[in-house]
Amino acid sequence: MAAVSERSIDIDADLLRRHDVAGPRYTSYPTTDRFVEAYQGAQHRHALRQRGSAQPLSVYVHIPFCEQLCHYCACNKIITRHHERSAPYLAALAAELDLVAEALGGAAPASQLHVGGGSPTFLSDGELSELMGLLQRRIKLLPGAELCIEVDPRNVDRQRLAHLRRLGFNRLSIGVQDLEPAVQKAVHRVQPAAQVSSVVEQAHELGFTSINVDLIYGLPLQTPASFARTVAQVAAWRPQRVAFYPYAHQPHRFKSQRRIAAELLPPAGDKLAMLSGAISALLGEGYCHIGMDHFALPDDPLAVAKRQGRLHRGFQGYSTQSDADQIGLGVSAISRIGATYAQNATVLTEYEDALRQRVLPVQRGLALTRDDLLRRAVIMALLCQGRVEFESLAASYLVDVPRHFAMEMEKLQQMAAQGLVALEPGAIQVTPLGWYFVRSIAMVFDRYLQADASRERFSRII
Protein backbone atom coordinates (compact mmCIF):
# COMPACT_ATOMS: atom_id res chain seq x y z
CA MET A 1 0.00 0.00 0.00
CA ALA A 2 1.50 3.31 -1.09
CA ALA A 3 1.55 6.41 1.03
CA VAL A 4 2.91 9.86 0.42
CA SER A 5 6.22 10.33 2.15
CA GLU A 6 6.50 12.98 4.84
CA ARG A 7 9.65 14.31 3.26
CA SER A 8 9.39 17.06 0.68
CA ILE A 9 9.05 15.83 -2.89
CA ASP A 10 10.56 17.94 -5.67
CA ILE A 11 8.44 17.89 -8.81
CA ASP A 12 10.02 18.76 -12.12
CA ALA A 13 8.27 21.62 -13.97
CA ASP A 14 8.18 19.60 -17.19
CA LEU A 15 6.48 16.70 -15.38
CA LEU A 16 3.91 19.12 -14.02
CA ARG A 17 3.19 20.48 -17.49
CA ARG A 18 2.78 16.98 -18.94
CA HIS A 19 0.25 15.89 -16.36
CA ASP A 20 -1.62 19.15 -15.72
CA VAL A 21 -4.44 17.97 -17.98
CA ALA A 22 -8.20 17.63 -17.70
CA GLY A 23 -9.47 14.33 -16.33
CA PRO A 24 -12.14 12.63 -14.20
CA ARG A 25 -12.14 12.27 -10.43
CA TYR A 26 -13.41 8.71 -10.88
CA THR A 27 -16.22 8.58 -8.36
CA SER A 28 -17.43 6.01 -10.88
CA TYR A 29 -16.19 4.14 -13.91
CA PRO A 30 -17.38 4.56 -16.56
CA THR A 31 -17.80 8.23 -15.68
CA THR A 32 -21.23 9.88 -15.64
CA ASP A 33 -20.73 11.55 -19.04
CA ARG A 34 -20.97 8.03 -20.52
CA PHE A 35 -24.51 7.48 -19.20
CA VAL A 36 -27.16 7.15 -21.91
CA GLU A 37 -30.78 8.30 -22.03
CA ALA A 38 -31.87 4.89 -23.34
CA TYR A 39 -31.44 3.68 -19.74
CA GLN A 40 -34.65 4.70 -17.92
CA GLY A 41 -36.79 3.85 -14.90
CA ALA A 42 -37.86 0.45 -16.22
CA GLN A 43 -34.24 -0.76 -16.42
CA HIS A 44 -33.50 0.63 -12.96
CA ARG A 45 -36.55 -1.07 -11.50
CA HIS A 46 -35.38 -4.37 -13.05
CA ALA A 47 -31.91 -3.93 -11.50
CA LEU A 48 -33.48 -3.27 -8.08
CA ARG A 49 -35.72 -6.35 -8.35
CA GLN A 50 -32.80 -8.57 -9.39
CA ARG A 51 -30.57 -7.31 -6.61
CA GLY A 52 -31.89 -9.31 -3.66
CA SER A 53 -31.84 -8.02 -0.10
CA ALA A 54 -28.97 -9.78 1.63
CA GLN A 55 -26.17 -7.23 1.24
CA PRO A 56 -26.67 -3.90 3.07
CA LEU A 57 -27.14 -0.80 0.97
CA SER A 58 -25.55 2.63 1.03
CA VAL A 59 -28.20 5.36 0.69
CA TYR A 60 -27.68 8.91 -0.58
CA VAL A 61 -30.36 11.63 -0.32
CA HIS A 62 -29.92 14.87 -2.26
CA ILE A 63 -31.39 18.07 -0.81
CA PRO A 64 -30.83 20.72 -3.51
CA PHE A 65 -31.78 23.93 -1.72
CA CYS A 66 -29.35 26.67 -0.63
CA GLU A 67 -30.11 30.16 0.64
CA GLN A 68 -27.05 31.72 -0.98
CA LEU A 69 -24.98 31.06 -4.10
CA CYS A 70 -21.29 30.18 -3.67
CA HIS A 71 -19.54 31.28 -6.86
CA TYR A 72 -17.29 28.21 -7.11
CA CYS A 73 -20.12 25.67 -6.75
CA ALA A 74 -20.71 23.05 -9.45
CA CYS A 75 -23.33 21.05 -7.53
CA ASN A 76 -26.95 20.58 -8.56
CA LYS A 77 -28.57 23.26 -6.40
CA ILE A 78 -31.55 25.61 -6.20
CA ILE A 79 -30.89 29.03 -4.68
CA THR A 80 -33.92 30.22 -2.72
CA ARG A 81 -34.96 31.74 0.58
CA HIS A 82 -38.47 30.30 0.22
CA HIS A 83 -38.38 27.49 2.76
CA GLU A 84 -41.93 26.46 1.86
CA ARG A 85 -40.38 24.70 -1.17
CA SER A 86 -39.16 21.93 1.15
CA ALA A 87 -42.61 20.41 1.77
CA PRO A 88 -43.39 19.33 -1.83
CA TYR A 89 -39.83 18.08 -2.21
CA LEU A 90 -40.18 15.85 0.85
CA ALA A 91 -43.44 14.54 -0.60
CA ALA A 92 -41.61 13.67 -3.83
CA LEU A 93 -38.89 11.87 -1.85
CA ALA A 94 -41.58 9.86 -0.06
CA ALA A 95 -43.07 8.83 -3.42
CA GLU A 96 -39.65 7.81 -4.73
CA LEU A 97 -38.95 5.82 -1.58
CA ASP A 98 -42.23 3.96 -2.05
CA LEU A 99 -41.28 2.97 -5.61
CA VAL A 100 -37.76 1.90 -4.60
CA ALA A 101 -38.99 -0.14 -1.62
CA GLU A 102 -41.58 -1.83 -3.84
CA ALA A 103 -38.92 -2.78 -6.40
CA LEU A 104 -36.62 -4.09 -3.65
CA GLY A 105 -39.42 -6.22 -2.24
CA GLY A 106 -39.65 -4.43 1.11
CA ALA A 107 -37.46 -2.52 3.54
CA ALA A 108 -33.88 -3.35 2.58
CA PRO A 109 -31.08 -3.11 5.19
CA ALA A 110 -28.70 -0.16 4.94
CA SER A 111 -25.34 0.28 6.66
CA GLN A 112 -24.69 3.82 5.45
CA LEU A 113 -26.75 6.99 4.93
CA HIS A 114 -25.43 10.24 3.50
CA VAL A 115 -27.64 13.32 3.25
CA GLY A 116 -26.04 15.89 0.97
CA GLY A 117 -26.82 18.83 -1.29
CA GLY A 118 -27.15 21.72 -1.81
CA SER A 119 -27.51 22.28 1.88
CA PRO A 120 -29.49 19.71 3.91
CA THR A 121 -29.60 22.13 6.84
CA PHE A 122 -31.87 24.30 4.66
CA LEU A 123 -34.56 22.00 6.10
CA SER A 124 -36.07 22.89 9.48
CA ASP A 125 -35.64 20.61 12.48
CA GLY A 126 -39.18 19.33 11.94
CA GLU A 127 -38.49 18.61 8.28
CA LEU A 128 -35.27 16.78 9.12
CA SER A 129 -37.29 14.64 11.56
CA GLU A 130 -39.84 14.02 8.79
CA LEU A 131 -37.09 13.00 6.37
CA MET A 132 -35.61 10.51 8.83
CA GLY A 133 -39.08 9.11 9.51
CA LEU A 134 -39.65 8.60 5.78
CA LEU A 135 -36.33 6.79 5.44
CA GLN A 136 -36.75 4.56 8.49
CA ARG A 137 -40.20 3.41 7.38
CA ARG A 138 -38.89 2.18 4.03
CA ILE A 139 -35.22 1.34 4.68
CA LYS A 140 -33.91 -0.69 7.61
CA LEU A 141 -31.00 1.31 9.06
CA LEU A 142 -28.81 -1.27 10.75
CA PRO A 143 -27.39 -0.89 14.28
CA GLY A 144 -24.02 0.84 14.03
CA ALA A 145 -24.81 2.29 10.60
CA GLU A 146 -22.82 5.34 9.51
CA LEU A 147 -25.27 8.25 9.28
CA CYS A 148 -23.72 11.39 7.79
CA ILE A 149 -25.17 14.78 6.96
CA GLU A 150 -23.55 17.77 5.26
CA VAL A 151 -23.95 20.99 7.27
CA ASP A 152 -23.45 24.65 6.46
CA PRO A 153 -21.69 26.21 9.49
CA ARG A 154 -23.56 29.45 8.82
CA ASN A 155 -26.96 27.99 9.69
CA VAL A 156 -26.32 25.46 12.46
CA ASP A 157 -25.95 26.04 16.17
CA ARG A 158 -25.63 23.79 19.21
CA GLN A 159 -29.39 23.24 19.38
CA ARG A 160 -29.54 22.10 15.77
CA LEU A 161 -26.48 19.86 16.16
CA ALA A 162 -28.09 18.26 19.21
CA HIS A 163 -31.23 17.61 17.16
CA LEU A 164 -29.17 15.88 14.48
CA ARG A 165 -27.61 13.63 17.15
CA ARG A 166 -31.07 12.73 18.46
CA LEU A 167 -32.08 11.76 14.92
CA GLY A 168 -29.18 9.30 14.87
CA PHE A 169 -26.60 11.15 12.80
CA ASN A 170 -23.12 10.23 14.02
CA ARG A 171 -21.01 11.91 11.34
CA LEU A 172 -20.88 15.47 10.00
CA SER A 173 -19.34 16.87 6.83
CA ILE A 174 -18.67 20.60 7.10
CA GLY A 175 -18.06 22.79 4.08
CA VAL A 176 -15.25 25.18 4.98
CA GLN A 177 -13.38 25.66 1.66
CA ASP A 178 -11.07 28.44 2.98
CA LEU A 179 -10.71 30.55 6.14
CA GLU A 180 -9.08 33.65 4.63
CA PRO A 181 -11.57 36.59 4.66
CA ALA A 182 -10.44 37.90 1.24
CA VAL A 183 -10.87 34.49 -0.38
CA GLN A 184 -14.27 33.98 1.25
CA LYS A 185 -15.45 37.34 -0.06
CA ALA A 186 -14.17 36.53 -3.56
CA VAL A 187 -16.23 33.32 -3.71
CA HIS A 188 -19.29 34.74 -1.90
CA ARG A 189 -19.09 32.45 1.12
CA VAL A 190 -18.27 34.50 4.19
CA GLN A 191 -18.04 32.46 7.40
CA PRO A 192 -15.58 33.62 10.08
CA ALA A 193 -13.10 31.05 11.35
CA ALA A 194 -14.49 31.48 14.89
CA GLN A 195 -17.96 30.48 13.66
CA VAL A 196 -16.67 27.31 12.00
CA SER A 197 -14.44 26.48 14.97
CA SER A 198 -17.46 26.72 17.29
CA VAL A 199 -19.44 24.25 15.16
CA VAL A 200 -16.57 21.74 15.15
CA GLU A 201 -16.03 22.10 18.92
CA GLN A 202 -19.73 21.65 19.68
CA ALA A 203 -19.94 18.62 17.38
CA HIS A 204 -17.05 17.01 19.28
CA GLU A 205 -18.78 17.75 22.60
CA LEU A 206 -22.09 16.28 21.40
CA GLY A 207 -20.44 13.00 20.52
CA PHE A 208 -20.33 12.92 16.72
CA THR A 209 -17.91 10.08 16.10
CA SER A 210 -16.50 11.47 12.86
CA ILE A 211 -16.29 15.04 11.61
CA ASN A 212 -15.13 15.78 8.08
CA VAL A 213 -13.94 19.20 6.90
CA ASP A 214 -13.92 20.01 3.19
CA LEU A 215 -11.42 22.49 1.76
CA ILE A 216 -10.82 23.74 -1.80
CA TYR A 217 -7.46 24.82 -3.20
CA GLY A 218 -7.05 26.95 -6.31
CA LEU A 219 -9.69 29.52 -5.37
CA PRO A 220 -9.27 33.20 -6.33
CA LEU A 221 -6.72 35.14 -4.24
CA GLN A 222 -5.39 31.97 -2.60
CA THR A 223 -1.63 31.61 -2.23
CA PRO A 224 0.44 28.72 -0.88
CA ALA A 225 1.01 30.77 2.29
CA SER A 226 -2.67 31.64 2.80
CA PHE A 227 -3.83 28.08 2.21
CA ALA A 228 -1.18 26.82 4.65
CA ARG A 229 -2.76 29.06 7.32
CA THR A 230 -6.18 27.56 6.61
CA VAL A 231 -4.85 23.99 6.79
CA ALA A 232 -3.05 24.73 10.07
CA GLN A 233 -6.23 26.13 11.65
CA VAL A 234 -8.29 23.17 10.51
CA ALA A 235 -5.72 20.64 11.76
CA ALA A 236 -5.77 22.36 15.16
CA TRP A 237 -9.51 21.56 15.44
CA ARG A 238 -8.69 17.83 15.03
CA PRO A 239 -11.54 16.76 12.75
CA GLN A 240 -11.35 13.03 12.12
CA ARG A 241 -11.26 13.58 8.35
CA VAL A 242 -10.03 16.33 6.04
CA ALA A 243 -10.60 16.50 2.29
CA PHE A 244 -9.29 19.20 -0.02
CA TYR A 245 -10.37 19.41 -3.62
CA PRO A 246 -8.84 21.29 -6.55
CA TYR A 247 -11.11 24.07 -7.76
CA ALA A 248 -12.35 23.32 -11.28
CA HIS A 249 -12.92 26.59 -13.13
CA GLN A 250 -15.41 25.76 -15.89
CA PRO A 251 -17.49 28.91 -16.47
CA HIS A 252 -18.68 27.53 -19.81
CA ARG A 253 -20.49 24.80 -17.85
CA PHE A 254 -21.40 26.51 -14.57
CA LYS A 255 -22.96 29.94 -14.76
CA SER A 256 -22.08 30.90 -11.18
CA GLN A 257 -18.36 30.58 -11.94
CA ARG A 258 -18.57 33.42 -14.44
CA ARG A 259 -18.52 35.71 -11.41
CA ILE A 260 -14.96 34.60 -10.65
CA ALA A 261 -12.28 36.57 -12.47
CA ALA A 262 -9.88 34.09 -14.07
CA GLU A 263 -6.92 36.42 -13.52
CA LEU A 264 -7.39 36.04 -9.74
CA LEU A 265 -6.91 32.27 -9.86
CA PRO A 266 -3.53 30.87 -8.75
CA PRO A 267 -1.34 29.21 -11.43
CA ALA A 268 -0.85 25.45 -11.57
CA GLY A 269 2.53 25.71 -9.83
CA ASP A 270 0.96 27.47 -6.85
CA LYS A 271 -1.87 24.92 -6.75
CA LEU A 272 0.67 22.11 -6.61
CA ALA A 273 2.51 23.94 -3.82
CA MET A 274 -0.78 24.19 -1.90
CA LEU A 275 -1.38 20.46 -2.36
CA SER A 276 2.17 19.54 -1.40
CA GLY A 277 2.18 21.85 1.62
CA ALA A 278 -1.19 20.57 2.84
CA ILE A 279 -0.09 16.95 2.52
CA SER A 280 3.10 17.61 4.48
CA ALA A 281 1.23 19.60 7.15
CA LEU A 282 -1.46 16.99 7.72
CA LEU A 283 1.02 14.11 7.80
CA GLY A 284 3.00 16.11 10.32
CA GLU A 285 -0.16 16.46 12.45
CA GLY A 286 -0.61 12.69 12.54
CA TYR A 287 -3.18 12.25 9.78
CA CYS A 288 -3.03 9.25 7.44
CA HIS A 289 -3.14 9.77 3.69
CA ILE A 290 -6.21 7.88 2.45
CA GLY A 291 -5.78 8.63 -1.24
CA MET A 292 -5.76 11.55 -3.66
CA ASP A 293 -6.64 14.50 -1.40
CA HIS A 294 -8.32 12.74 1.55
CA PHE A 295 -6.88 12.32 5.07
CA ALA A 296 -8.05 10.73 8.31
CA LEU A 297 -6.77 10.25 11.84
CA PRO A 298 -5.32 6.77 12.40
CA ASP A 299 -8.26 5.46 14.45
CA ASP A 300 -10.95 6.73 12.08
CA PRO A 301 -12.86 3.93 10.25
CA LEU A 302 -11.65 5.33 6.91
CA ALA A 303 -8.00 4.92 7.92
CA VAL A 304 -8.73 1.45 9.31
CA ALA A 305 -10.43 0.46 6.04
CA LYS A 306 -7.40 1.68 4.09
CA ARG A 307 -5.02 -0.41 6.20
CA GLN A 308 -7.24 -3.48 5.85
CA GLY A 309 -7.72 -3.13 2.10
CA ARG A 310 -11.48 -2.46 2.41
CA LEU A 311 -11.47 1.08 1.09
CA HIS A 312 -14.02 1.90 -1.60
CA ARG A 313 -14.57 4.94 -3.80
CA GLY A 314 -18.04 6.04 -4.86
CA PHE A 315 -20.14 9.07 -5.63
CA GLN A 316 -19.48 10.59 -2.17
CA GLY A 317 -15.73 10.00 -2.42
CA TYR A 318 -13.84 7.49 -0.26
CA SER A 319 -15.95 5.16 1.86
CA THR A 320 -15.67 2.28 4.33
CA GLN A 321 -18.55 0.48 2.59
CA SER A 322 -16.57 -1.86 0.36
CA ASP A 323 -18.30 -2.16 -3.00
CA ALA A 324 -21.80 -1.64 -1.55
CA ASP A 325 -24.73 -0.95 -3.84
CA GLN A 326 -25.96 2.63 -3.54
CA ILE A 327 -29.50 3.94 -3.75
CA GLY A 328 -29.61 7.60 -4.82
CA LEU A 329 -32.75 9.54 -3.86
CA GLY A 330 -33.74 13.03 -4.95
CA VAL A 331 -33.14 15.27 -7.95
CA SER A 332 -29.92 14.37 -9.86
CA ALA A 333 -29.03 11.57 -7.40
CA ILE A 334 -27.16 8.57 -8.81
CA SER A 335 -27.68 4.91 -7.92
CA ARG A 336 -25.22 2.08 -8.42
CA ILE A 337 -26.81 -1.36 -8.39
CA GLY A 338 -24.50 -4.23 -9.31
CA ALA A 339 -23.28 -3.62 -12.85
CA THR A 340 -25.61 -0.68 -13.49
CA TYR A 341 -25.76 3.07 -12.86
CA ALA A 342 -28.94 5.19 -12.90
CA GLN A 343 -29.20 8.97 -12.52
CA ASN A 344 -32.40 10.80 -11.61
CA ALA A 345 -33.70 13.79 -13.56
CA THR A 346 -31.50 16.83 -12.91
CA VAL A 347 -34.34 19.38 -13.25
CA LEU A 348 -36.66 19.56 -10.24
CA THR A 349 -39.90 19.86 -12.22
CA GLU A 350 -39.01 16.81 -14.34
CA TYR A 351 -38.14 14.84 -11.20
CA GLU A 352 -41.44 15.72 -9.53
CA ASP A 353 -43.49 15.13 -12.71
CA ALA A 354 -42.19 11.56 -13.02
CA LEU A 355 -43.12 10.79 -9.43
CA ARG A 356 -46.62 12.21 -9.86
CA GLN A 357 -47.00 9.61 -12.59
CA ARG A 358 -45.69 6.91 -10.20
CA VAL A 359 -42.60 6.35 -12.36
CA LEU A 360 -39.02 6.08 -11.11
CA PRO A 361 -37.49 9.47 -12.08
CA VAL A 362 -34.44 8.02 -13.89
CA GLN A 363 -33.25 10.21 -16.76
CA ARG A 364 -30.20 8.24 -17.89
CA GLY A 365 -27.89 5.44 -16.85
CA LEU A 366 -25.68 2.59 -17.98
CA ALA A 367 -25.39 -1.20 -17.93
CA LEU A 368 -21.69 -2.04 -17.63
CA THR A 369 -19.91 -4.49 -19.90
CA ARG A 370 -17.44 -7.11 -18.65
CA ASP A 371 -14.60 -4.87 -19.84
CA ASP A 372 -16.11 -1.92 -17.92
CA LEU A 373 -16.15 -4.00 -14.74
CA LEU A 374 -12.52 -5.09 -15.19
CA ARG A 375 -11.34 -1.54 -15.82
CA ARG A 376 -13.40 -0.26 -12.88
CA ALA A 377 -11.62 -2.76 -10.63
CA VAL A 378 -8.19 -1.58 -11.86
CA ILE A 379 -8.98 2.13 -11.52
CA MET A 380 -10.48 1.75 -8.04
CA ALA A 381 -7.50 -0.34 -6.89
CA LEU A 382 -5.15 2.43 -8.04
CA LEU A 383 -7.17 5.18 -6.34
CA CYS A 384 -7.94 3.29 -3.12
CA GLN A 385 -4.83 1.20 -2.46
CA GLY A 386 -2.27 2.57 -4.90
CA ARG A 387 -1.62 -0.99 -6.05
CA VAL A 388 -3.02 -3.41 -8.62
CA GLU A 389 -2.41 -7.15 -8.11
CA PHE A 390 -2.59 -9.11 -11.38
CA GLU A 391 -3.32 -12.47 -9.73
CA SER A 392 -6.55 -11.33 -8.06
CA LEU A 393 -7.77 -9.71 -11.29
CA ALA A 394 -6.97 -12.83 -13.28
CA ALA A 395 -8.96 -14.96 -10.82
CA SER A 396 -11.97 -12.65 -10.81
CA TYR A 397 -12.14 -11.82 -14.53
CA LEU A 398 -10.34 -14.79 -16.17
CA VAL A 399 -7.91 -12.61 -18.12
CA ASP A 400 -4.19 -12.49 -18.68
CA VAL A 401 -3.77 -8.99 -17.26
CA PRO A 402 -0.46 -7.97 -18.94
CA ARG A 403 -1.71 -9.25 -22.31
CA HIS A 404 -5.20 -7.72 -21.97
CA PHE A 405 -3.69 -4.35 -21.03
CA ALA A 406 -0.68 -4.48 -23.35
CA MET A 407 -1.20 -0.93 -24.68
CA GLU A 408 -1.79 0.42 -21.18
CA MET A 409 1.35 -1.25 -19.87
CA GLU A 410 3.36 0.47 -22.60
CA LYS A 411 2.07 3.85 -21.41
CA LEU A 412 2.87 2.91 -17.83
CA GLN A 413 6.46 2.25 -18.88
CA GLN A 414 6.74 5.98 -19.59
CA MET A 415 5.23 6.78 -16.18
CA ALA A 416 7.64 4.35 -14.56
CA ALA A 417 10.51 6.24 -16.19
CA GLN A 418 9.06 9.44 -14.70
CA GLY A 419 8.99 7.85 -11.24
CA LEU A 420 5.19 7.74 -10.93
CA VAL A 421 4.73 3.96 -10.79
CA ALA A 422 6.81 0.88 -10.10
CA LEU A 423 6.08 -2.05 -12.43
CA GLU A 424 6.60 -5.31 -10.59
CA PRO A 425 6.34 -8.80 -12.18
CA GLY A 426 2.77 -9.22 -10.92
CA ALA A 427 1.65 -5.77 -9.85
CA ILE A 428 1.50 -2.02 -10.45
CA GLN A 429 2.55 0.13 -7.50
CA VAL A 430 1.93 3.89 -7.25
CA THR A 431 5.03 5.67 -5.91
CA PRO A 432 5.00 8.56 -3.38
CA LEU A 433 5.54 10.94 -6.30
CA GLY A 434 2.83 9.18 -8.27
CA TRP A 435 0.16 9.99 -5.67
CA TYR A 436 0.30 13.60 -6.85
CA PHE A 437 -0.70 12.39 -10.33
CA VAL A 438 -2.78 9.31 -9.46
CA ARG A 439 -5.72 10.57 -11.55
CA SER A 440 -3.39 10.69 -14.55
CA ILE A 441 -2.29 7.11 -13.85
CA ALA A 442 -5.90 5.93 -13.60
CA MET A 443 -6.74 7.67 -16.89
CA VAL A 444 -4.44 5.24 -18.72
CA PHE A 445 -7.04 2.49 -18.12
CA ASP A 446 -10.06 4.60 -19.15
CA ARG A 447 -10.98 3.12 -22.53
CA TYR A 448 -13.56 5.82 -23.25
CA LEU A 449 -11.25 8.70 -22.38
CA GLN A 450 -8.36 7.35 -24.44
CA ALA A 451 -10.66 7.17 -27.48
CA ASP A 452 -12.02 10.68 -26.93
CA ALA A 453 -9.74 13.64 -27.63
CA SER A 454 -12.19 16.13 -26.07
CA ARG A 455 -11.82 16.42 -22.30
CA GLU A 456 -13.20 19.92 -21.74
CA ARG A 457 -16.02 18.53 -19.59
CA PHE A 458 -13.51 17.51 -16.90
CA SER A 459 -11.53 19.59 -14.44
CA ARG A 460 -7.72 19.74 -14.53
CA ILE A 461 -6.07 17.19 -12.29
CA ILE A 462 -3.74 19.72 -10.60
Q: Based on the domain organization, do 406 and 303 belong to the same domain?
A: no
Q: Based on the domain organization, do 270 and 399 belong to the same domain?
A: no
Q: How many residues does the chain have?
A: 462
Which among 232, 202, 238, 386 is positioned nearest to 307, based on CA atoms? 386
DSSP 8-state assignment for residue 458? S
Confidence of residue 25 (pLDDT cuts 50, 70, 90): confident
Decide if 376 is inside a domain: yes
Rounded Cα gap, residues 217 and 185, in angstroms: 15
Of residues 227 and 17, more confidently modeled: 227
370: helix, strand or coil: helix
Kindly give the pairing relationship between strand 65-66 and strand 334-337.
unpaired
Q: Based on the domain organization, do 11 and 59 belong to the same domain?
A: no
Q: Based on the domain organization, do 124 and 108 belong to the same domain?
A: yes
Encode pLDDT of 136-145 as tens digits: 999 999 999 9
Confidence of residue 340 (pLDDT cuts 50, 70, 90): very high
**Over 80: is that where the pLDDT of 220 sits?**
yes
Decide if 365 is inside a domain: no
Mean pLDDT value across residues 240-265: 90
Encode pLDDT of 44-60 as tens digits: 999 999 986 668 999 99
Rounded Cα gap, residues 360 and 363, in angstroms: 9
Decide if 116 is inside a domain: yes
Decide if 359 is inside a domain: no
Encode pLDDT of 272-306 as tens digits: 889 888 988 999 999 998 887 799 999 999 999 88
Of residues 354 and 461, more confidently modeled: 354
Encode pLDDT of 259-273 as tens digits: 999 999 998 889 888
Phi, psi of 84 (to 5 degrees): -70, -10
Q: Based on the domain organization, do 225 and 266 belong to the same domain?
A: yes
Domain around 425: 1-30+370-462
Q: Based on the domain organization, do 85 and 226 belong to the same domain?
A: yes
Find the CATH number of the domain harbouring 429: 1.10.10.920
**Predicted pLDDT of residue 410:** 95
Q: Based on the domain organization, do 308 and 417 belong to the same domain?
A: no
**Predicted pLDDT of residue 459:** 61
Decide if 362 is inside a domain: no
Q: Based on the domain organization, do 61 and 179 belong to the same domain?
A: yes
Q: How many CA atoms are closer than 13 Å to the CA of 171, on its beta-carbon side? A: 21
Decide if 348 is inside a domain: no
Mean pLDDT value across residues 410-434: 94
Find the CATH number of the domain harbouring 37: 3.80.30.20
Confidence of residue 461 (pLDDT cuts 50, 70, 90): low
Q: Based on the domain organization, do 392 and 313 belong to the same domain?
A: no
Question: Mean pLDDT across the chain, nearest whole number?
Answer: 91
Choose one of 298, 328, 358: the last residue of a domain. 328
**Over 70: is that where the pLDDT of 4 sits?**
no
Q: Do 145 and 111 meet the contact criterion of CB atoms below 8 Å apart? A: yes
Q: Do 317 and 294 meet the contact criterion of CB atoms below 8 Å apart? A: yes
Which among 250, 252, 229 is positioned nearest to 176, based on CA atoms? 229
Rounded Cα gap, residues 184 and 177, in angstroms: 8
Q: Based on the domain organization, do 36 and 26 belong to the same domain?
A: no
Q: Do 278 and 228 meet the contact criterion of CB atoms below 8 Å apart? A: yes
Confidence of residue 460 (pLDDT cuts 50, 70, 90): low
Rounded Cα gap, residues 116 and 151, in angstroms: 8
**Which residues, 6 or more positions from 307, have their beta carbon under 8 angstroms from its beta carbon?**
1
Q: Based on the domain organization, do 12 and 71 belong to the same domain?
A: no
Rounded Cα gap, residues 218 and 186, in angstroms: 12
Decide if 333 is inside a domain: no
**Over 70: is that where the pLDDT of 317 sits?**
yes
Query: Distance of CA 346 to CAs 77, 282, 327, 384, Å?
Result: 10, 36, 16, 29
Rounded Cα gap, residues 113 and 164, in angstroms: 13
Q: How many CA atoms are closer than 13 Å to the CA of 234, on its beta-carbon side? A: 31
- Burial status of residue 182 (CB atoms within 10 A of its CB: 0-12, 13-18, 19 or more): exposed
Structural domains of the chain, count: 2
The sign one gets for the Cα dihedral 316, 320, 322, 327 is: negative
Q: Do 100 and 138 meet the contact criterion of CB atoms below 8 Å apart? A: yes
385: helix, strand or coil: helix
**Over 90: is that where the pLDDT of 21 sits?**
no
**Over 80: is that where the pLDDT of 34 sits?**
yes
The sign one gets for the Cα dihedral 88, 93, 97, 103 is: positive
Q: Based on the domain organization, do 183 and 156 belong to the same domain?
A: yes
Instruction: Give the number of other CB atoms < 10 A from CB of residue 162.
Output: 15
